[in-house]
Chain A
Amino acid sequence: MLKNISFKENRLNFSALLVLLIVILGALVIVSLCMGRFPISIPEVIHVLAANIFPIPQVGDVNVESVVMTLRFPRVVAAILVGGSLALSGAVYQGVFQNPLVSPDLLGVSSGACVGAAIAILIGIGTFGIQIGAFAGGILAVALTTTAPKLIKNSSNMMLVMSGIIVGGLMSSIMGIIKYIADPETELAEITYWQMGSIAKVLPKSILMVAPAMILAIIIIMVLRWKINVLSLGETEARSLGINVKTTRRIVIICATLLTASSVCISGTIGWVGLVVPHLGRLIVGPNNMKLLPVSFVLGGIFLLIIDTIARTITSAELPLSILTGLIGAPFYFYLLKKERMNLS
């Protein structure tokens, strides 16, 4: 069904699809705000939200407002922002590297950002420092990963993936060293929290701190999405179509890395989202990044919002997100690969 929608070159259909996805996301936000150890009804949630926007009196029960707005709302925003950003950066990496196998995890960007954040925690330079550290680590990792195939003079899809595995392995060893020397009472716990991937303790302050960089990166990527299409044809063809390949690629990779690093700042490393969601998006709207990028962002938000809601409701103890994204993402990715009959060479 969805496939039929996708291959029709009809702008209206695409807009309708995007609106539909956003409506689904909106509905999920409300459902997610209802769910938890302290169940709240849908009308109550809508009332609380409305009272925060419009000048109407707030719900009588103070507990209801505080659970919705203080406990759950920041998590919901974080889930959408992180899920959307990881999916978007994955789609962008897959486009510019002409390689549907890569993702923020497989390129080593996530683990690089994690190392950067961990070093910042060790030095103890605050939230902004952690953000800078994560970004620097992410950029370093993607630079290393893309350099290796050049040195070996093999630009195949597999080489880039191999290189990502090497850099990822290197980064997790560095992570091991950092954890080994970290103070077990304070720093080690905080660093371990980054690695597990969780938005349980997310604060509105840390979202607001990271959001401007994320929004800027998203805007730049959205503006450049036609060029990402052209870049996905390869260097020679992009140049012959008038694109300054080096500069454009660099800007796009920096923005995607900024998105991944910012996500790591909010939630630590969360696997699978950046790999699986772009494939799902391509199945629905095709590979055209004009459509794929907005759809990937919304789908990523939906995916992680569902995952996080499950994580905090299924058991009394919180499940780390990476466990669930893996449990759901891995079989789902297998299904997608089978469905796409991807031609890997």
Chain B
Amino acid sequence: MNLRIAELGFAYPNGKQIFTEVNFSLKKGEIFTILGPNGAGKSTLLNCIGNLSEPTQGGIFLEKDNIKDLSLRQFAKQIGYVPQIHQPTYAFTVEEFVAMGRTPYLSAFKKLNQQDQWVIEEAMELVRITHLRNKAYTQLSGGERQLVTIARAIAQEPDFILLDEPTAHLDFGNQIKTMKLVKKLSDQGYGVIMTTHNPDQVFFIGGRVGVLNRSGAFEIGVVDQYLSEELLSNLYNEPVHLFYSDQLNRNICTAGA
């Protein structure tokens, strides 16, 4: 399965262009991070890929199919979307919440069956939240909620999972845990697209990165070759430093000199 973003652009109805000419493609098992400062339009780009906003130029293709031509149900079976953490209105239990990931496979007359239940169990097991199954979603911490939403996306049995700033509102420990989980997802064979405003996370993840700057230009490259101190300093208008850590076996990105 191949996800291809071709000549993608988005402009508001008032004509303000957010980004143009976004081109990249992704296979199952790969991770692609989208890096950019606040307000650059990362979420809008991810929403376009997730079929939640309609792009004004170009298109998104699953193999040869333009996603515009797929039903919402077909789309939901192939791409799972993990929104930013938020406070939900109703206190569904964790299991009920994860079960909603099965929605594209259900119909008015087909209720959850044994196999659906098995997929739900697997999804909860993979992100290690089985022990929370009877807890109310509203009573969870931010980090736990993030895990539950990821489990719901896994229960969709998609080929690709999109995560919108999965570490926003999380403490330091939960940020690292979430990044490890993202890597685990790709090891499990999911293609992952993730937005972030923290360049250090991009070095942790590795692979390919797309940088969206404030003018709406989008460039891609392999993380260690492409992300330089100069590029990052220009992106954030602040001197950014890279250090190689033998212990972590990767570049560390920080600022504040």
- CB nearest neighbor in A for B88: A233
Once the chains are docked, how many angstroms separate the CA of A221 from the CA of B93? 22
B91 and A233 contact, CB distance less than 8 A = no
Q: Is the CB of B101 within 8 A of A343?
A: no
Q: Judge whether A242 and B75 touch: CB under 8 Å.
A: yes
B residues near A244, Cβ cutoff 8 Å: 72
Q: Nearest Cβ in chain A — how far from B110, in angstroms?
A: 10
Is B92 within 8 A of A287, CB to CB?
yes
Q: How far is the CA of A227 from the CA of B89 in the complex (A)?
A: 16
A224 to chain B: closest CB distance in Å?
7
Indicate whether A286 reaches chain B with its CB closer than 8 angstroms.
Answer: yes
Cα distance, A286 to B134, chains bound together (Å) = 11
Q: Which of B52, B77, B138, B156 makes the CB contact (< 8 A) with A239?
A: B52
CB within 8 A of A241: which of B76, B89, B138?
A: B76
- A98-B89 in contact given A240-B81, A242-B73 (Cβ < 8 Å): yes
Q: Which chain A residue lies CB-closest to B156?
A: A241
Asked if B108 and A243 sit within 8 Å, CB to CB, the answer is no
Q: Are B92 and A242 in contact (CB under 8 A)?
A: no
A239 shortest CB reach to chain B, Å: 6
A99, B89: Cα distance in complex, Å:
7
Q: Does A275 contact B (CB under 8 A)?
A: no
Minimum C-beta distance from B146 to chain A (A): 14
Contact A100 B108 (CB under 8 A): no
B95 at the A interface (CB under 8 A) = yes
Of B83, B95, B104, B138, the residue contacting A242 (CB under 8 A) is B104
Q: Which residue of A lies closest to B92 (CB)?
A: A287
Q: Is the CB of B103 within 8 A of A243?
A: yes
Contacts of B133 in A (CB 8 A): 9
Q: Mark A223-234, 1 if CB is under 8 A from B, else 0.
A: 110110110111
CB distance from B108 to the nearest CB of A (A): 5
Chain A neighbourhood of B96, CB < 8 A: 9, 229, 286, 288
Are B103 and A230 within 8 A (Cβ)? yes
Taking CB atoms, residues of chain B closer than 8 Å to A234 are 88
Instruction: Give which listed residue, A7, A232, A236, A288, contacts B134 with CB less than 8 A.
Output: A7
Whether B210 sits at the interface, judged by CB under 8 Å, is no
A242 to B91, CA, bound (A): 22
Chain A interface size, under 10 / 10 to 19 / 20 to 34 / 35 or more: 20 to 34
Chain A residues closer than 8 Å to B244, beta-carbon distance: none
A232 touches B91 (CB 8 A): no
A223 touches B89 (CB 8 A): no
Q: Is B100's beta carbon under 8 Å from chain A?
A: yes
Q: Are A236 and B52 in contact (CB under 8 A)?
A: yes
Interface string of B117-139 (1 = CB under 8 A from A): 00000000000000001101010
Say whether A201 faces chain B, with CB atoms less than 8 Å apart. Answer: no
Q: Say yes or no: A9-B93 contact (C-beta < 8 A), given A236-B52, A242-B72, A343-B87.
A: yes
**Whole-angstrom distance between the Cβ of A132 and the nearest chain B Cβ:** 28
Note all chain B residues with C-beta closer than 8 A to A240.
50-52, 76, 80-81, 83
Does A318 make an interface contact (CB < 8 A)? no
| B91 A241 Cβ-Cβ under 8 A | no
Bound-state Cα–Cα, A233 to B148, Å: 13
Tell me if A250 is interfacial: C-beta within 8 Å of chain B. no
Tell me if A183 is interfacial: C-beta within 8 Å of chain B: no
Interface contact A237-B83, CB-CB below 8 Å: yes
Nearest Cβ on chain A to B213's Cβ, whole angstroms: 26
A8 interfacial contact with B, CB 8 Å:
yes
Whole-angstrom distance between the alpha carbons of A242 and B153 in the complex? 12
Task: Indicate if the CB atoms of A242 and B52 lie closer than 8 Å.
Answer: no
B164 CB to nearest chain A CB (Å): 10
B104 → chain A closest CB, angstroms: 4
Tell me if B222 is interfacial: C-beta within 8 Å of chain A: no
Q: Which of B43-99 contact A (CB under 8 A)?
A: 50-52, 71-77, 80-81, 83, 87-93, 95-96
Report chain A residues within 8 Å CB of B1.
none
Residue B176 lies at the interface, judged by CB distance under 8 Å to chain A: no
* Complex CA distance for A282 and B138, rounded to whole angstroms: 14
Residue in B closest to A245 when the chains form the complex, CB atoms: B72
- Tell me if B11 counts as interface (CB < 8 A to partner A): no
| Given A99-B89, A286-B92, A288-B96, A241-B103 contact (CB < 8 Å) | yes
Write the A108-125 contact mask toward B (1 if CB under 8 angstroms, else 0). Answer: 000000000000000000
* A9 with B134, Cβ < 8 A, contacts A240-B80, A286-B91, A288-B92 known: yes
Within 8 A of B (CB), among A1-59: 7-9
- Chain A residues positioned under 8 Å from B81 (CB to CB): 236-237, 240
Residue of A9, A229, A241 near B104 (CB, 8 A) is: A241
- Chain A residues contacting B103 (CB-CB under 8 Å) are 226-227, 230, 241-243
- Ordered by A's residue number, 11 sampled pairs between the chains whose C-beta atoms are within 8 Å are A7-B134, A226-B106, A229-B92, A236-B83, A240-B76, A241-B103, A242-B77, A243-B103, A286-B92, A286-B96, A288-B96
8 closest cross-chain pairs (CB), A and B: A242-B76, A287-B90, A242-B104, A240-B81, A242-B73, A241-B103, A98-B89, A223-B108
